Structure 1
Amino acid sequence: MQGSAPQTFTIAEFLKWSDDKELNLNPKFQRGPVWASPARSYLIDSILRGYPIPKLLLRTSIDRDTRRTIRDVVDGQQRLRTIIDFAAGKFSLTSRAGEYRGYRYVDLDDDEKDAFLAYKLTCEQLINASDADVLEVFLRINSYAVPVNGSELRNARFDNDFSAYVKDLAREIPNVWDLGVVSNRDRVRMVDHATVAELLGFMIRGVTEGADSNITELYESQKETSLETLPRESDFLDVMESMVNILQDLKGEAIATRPNFLMLAAAVMYAKNLLPEGRLALAKVDRPAWPLVDPDATSAALSHLNTAIDTPTEDLDKRALPFIEARSSSQRIGSRQVRFEFFCRALAGKSFYDM
């Protein structure tokens, strides 16, 4: 990844880039606009008074077809959105702006407008950086500014073969994340790492409950484990490739999101003889054959389950009701047992309509 030395650009230049559609304020890894009016007013007041504000970070790339430079905002979306909205007259300043209270851009005198437009924003640019690089940079920047979640705490706390293996595997399965298992915003918060850790945990000790504390306990239990004794990378990637194939036609659907993905993956591991007993009662369901006997029947069975998720309870086929009710406590072993059984039957080509 190539970075640039800090540079300065005027607000007028940013406004032109925005008008020309060369500034992307909302790339997929960014959060939405959340600043309240006082914060927006305080920023504009700082600019009007000539005070410095924190530097911006952009990912700069050139579209080879249009030969235009596109700037994705990695850090500073809220600041730039505030500046652009103020220049467009979309809000007036609050009492945080002192004597500028109640002002819109149009209320500034000519000298104040000139100073506002000429104000220089300090920027650092990531030149042609990949999405993976940008996500990593964005995570590191925002880890200082927002309360950390369990995944981020584990990332900071554990530095061993298991934690490194989780990170490596999470980067190796972009096609899995493209299914919609976790959102890009959740990936920024390292929920993809928690997902990979759980999947490895299934292969190590079977399915357990999935609360954040259970995942942390898994990390604790693997602190002294060497890479050689962890599940083979080839086995893990084989399961993930099977999941991508099975869910390709259901990409972005509810059935592909994390709670269901985890239990379907457990069913695939069971079929491939890669799932220890754990806390699931494996004897309650027949092991699905692998390779799949009838991939089309499996696809249809999963589609039926996906449709059931969005069907009002009063209209739901009663045979699908246990699967739907199990969503209310998706991390608990009782819920996981029910969904595991439905998914095992789906792999065998059996819809809940066949029950």
Structure 2
Amino acid sequence: MKTIHSTEPILDFCNGLKNGEYMVNRDYQRSDKVWPPNAKSFLIETIVLDYPVPKLSLHQNLDVKSRKTVKQIVDGQQRSMAIQEFYQNKLRLSRTLATERLRNKTFEELDEEDQATFLNYGLNFDIFVGATVDEVREVFRRMNSFTIPLNPEETRHATFQGPFKWFINSLSKQYDTAFSEVGVFTPKQLTRMADAKLLTEISHAIEHGITTTSASSLSAMYKAHDNDFPQEEVMRQAIESAFDLALFESDIAGTPLAKPLNFYALALAYVHVGGHLRIPGEFDTPDAPSFEPGDRLFNLSLLADALEADSPNDASREFAAFALAAKDRTNVAAQRKVRFEFFLEAISV
């Protein structure tokens, strides 16, 4: 078997699909699930913005009777079909794309510059020449053996393609710079989608209340909204309003309040008082006489000081429960609820 690496403009690739030079071999299709419009739109946006996309793999065969070489698409079939649909003006891009000029556009409705970028974009291929079917399968077995295992967040985003996945994806893109600058996540954590997990947990709490979450419960959120997500707009408004306050106006950068477990509770407190949605459940009011009415930043600084004590026992008595809830069993509903109640009191008094 010989492997050839090549690059071809989308224009030539689409013409090749039309002329039968490239063919889809369904035997290699890993999933029968067709990409929804949001997934296709994200791919086209990636191409028009000239970001790299994964290479496609082709199995080249010689048809002796027709004396033609046919390349079967063995990896990248969904990408190929999305590209072809857009090229043929059969795909209208999503209204929710991050790039405003591309929203709700077909190919012929793009600016000429964007059309040219799309058509000239170089797709990268691995072409397997003279290979048997078993050898092609062996290629992917070996490739997968060198791949870093996906974490639960990456698995969810590879599995689901519905509106909730793209809702989380757009919020991640919107706030990843702020998350890094404030100190909620490191760049490495962002590359492994820690922000997607936090956003999913916050969305889960908005819908179901503050609970102990797990990989299965978060995946269930994606599954429940894989076909429709009627709450998307109001939840987006609630999260954006809360994050604008929590990230940009609460002065938490470099403090323990920026840690994901505390940001989770602080963001939910802002959601609760923001007027768009309220967190389901009943909550207690902690006894915190040191809080100053109307001085949110001062009150948050008191909570930050309590977390900077050497141990929860060193925190002042009124904030000891808060400090303890931020130390142990941080994913458990009871501790999350305590942190939420203190944050809610701090920003509400």
- How does the TM-score come out when normalised to structure 2? 0.52
Query: Aligned partners of 1:162 and 1:227: how far apart in 2?
Result: 10
- Over 3 Å counting, the alpha-carbon distance change for 1:228 and 1:326 in structure 2 is closer
- Over 3 Å counting, the alpha-carbon distance change for 1:251 and 1:326 in structure 2 is same
TM-superposed deviation, 1:312: 2.0
1:1-355 alignment to 2 at 5 Å? 145-173=147-175, 174-226=177-229, 229=232, 231-247=234-250, 249-278=251-280, 280-282=281-283, 284-285=284-285, 294=294, 297-313=295-311, 314-327=313-326, 328-349=328-349
Q: Which whole-Å deviations, capped at 9, do the CAs of 1:25-83 have from their partners, x for residues lacking one?
A: xxxxxxxxxxxxxxxxxxxxxxxxxxxxxxxxxxxxxxxxxxxxxxxxxxxxxxxxxxx
Kindly provide the amino acid, as one letter, of the partner of residue 346 in structure 1. A
TM-superposed deviation, 1:345: 1.2
- Over 3 Å counting, the alpha-carbon distance change for 1:143 and 1:298 in structure 2 is farther
- Over 3 Å counting, the alpha-carbon distance change for 1:189 and 1:281 in structure 2 is same
Q: Are the aligned partners of 1:308 and 1:324 in contact in 2 as well (CA < 8 Å)?
A: yes
- Over 3 Å counting, the alpha-carbon distance change for 1:304 and 1:324 in structure 2 is same
TM-superposed deviation, 1:342: 0.6
Q: Secondary structure at the match of 1:329?
A: coil
Query: Aligned partners of 1:214 and 1:341: how far apart in 2?
Result: 23
Query: Aligned partners of 2:217 and 2:231: how far apart in 1?
Result: 23
Query: Aligned partners of 1:340 and 1:194: how far apart in 2?
Result: 18
- Over 3 Å counting, the alpha-carbon distance change for 1:228 and 1:310 in structure 2 is closer
Q: Tell me what 1:57 maps to.
A: none
Q: Are the aligned partners of 1:204 and 1:230 in contact in 2 as well (CA < 8 Å)?
A: no
- Over 3 Å counting, the alpha-carbon distance change for 1:153 and 1:195 in structure 2 is same
Query: Aligned partners of 2:146 and 2:254: how far apart in 1?
Result: 31
Q: Tell me what 1:80 maps to.
A: none
Q: Which whole-Å deviations, capped at 9, do the CAs of 1:296-323 have from their partners, x for residues lacking one?
A: x211111121121121234321221111
Q: Secondary structure at the match of 1:156?
A: helix
Q: Are the aligned partners of 1:207 and 1:266 in contact in 2 as well (CA < 8 Å)?
A: no
The percentage of counterpart residues that share the same residue type is 22
Q: Are the aligned partners of 2:205 and 2:279 in contact in 1 as well (CA < 8 Å)?
A: no
TM-superposed deviation, 1:207: 2.5
Q: Secondary structure at the match of 2:185?
A: coil
TM-superposed deviation, 1:285: 3.5
Kindly provide the amino acid, as one letter, of the partner of residue 191 in structure 1. A
TM-superposed deviation, 1:191: 0.8
TM-superposed deviation, 1:227: 5.7
Q: Are the aligned partners of 1:239 and 1:265 in contact in 2 as well (CA < 8 Å)?
A: yes
Query: Aligned partners of 1:344 and 1:233: how far apart in 2?
Result: 20
Q: Secondary structure at the match of 2:275?
A: coil
Q: Are the aligned partners of 1:176 and 1:240 in contact in 2 as well (CA < 8 Å)?
A: no
Kindly provide the amino acid, as one letter, of the partner of residue 210 in structure 2. V
Q: Are the aligned partners of 1:201 and 1:218 in contact in 2 as well (CA < 8 Å)?
A: yes
Q: Are the aligned partners of 2:268 and 2:340 in contact in 1 as well (CA < 8 Å)?
A: yes
Query: Aligned partners of 2:209 and 2:277: how far apart in 1?
Result: 6
Paired residue total = 201
Kindly provide the amino acid, as one letter, of the partner of residue 217 in structure 2. N
Kindly provide the amino acid, as one letter, of the partner of residue 160 in structure 1. G
Q: Are the aligned partners of 2:238 and 2:271 in contact in 1 as well (CA < 8 Å)?
A: no
TM-superposed deviation, 1:229: 4.9
Q: Secondary structure at the match of 1:334?
A: helix
Kindly provide the amino acid, as one letter, of the partner of residue 281 in structure 1. E
Q: Are the aligned partners of 1:200 and 1:231 in contact in 2 as well (CA < 8 Å)?
A: no
Q: Are the aligned partners of 2:307 and 2:323 in contact in 1 as well (CA < 8 Å)?
A: yes
Query: Aligned partners of 2:321 and 2:145: how far apart in 1?
Result: 39
TM-superposed deviation, 1:166: 0.6
Q: Are the aligned partners of 1:198 and 1:215 in contact in 2 as well (CA < 8 Å)?
A: yes
Query: Aligned partners of 2:184 and 2:223: how far apart in 1?
Result: 25
TM-superposed deviation, 1:209: 1.9
Kindly provide the amino acid, as one letter, of the partner of residue 325 in structure 2. A
TM-superposed deviation, 1:145: 3.1
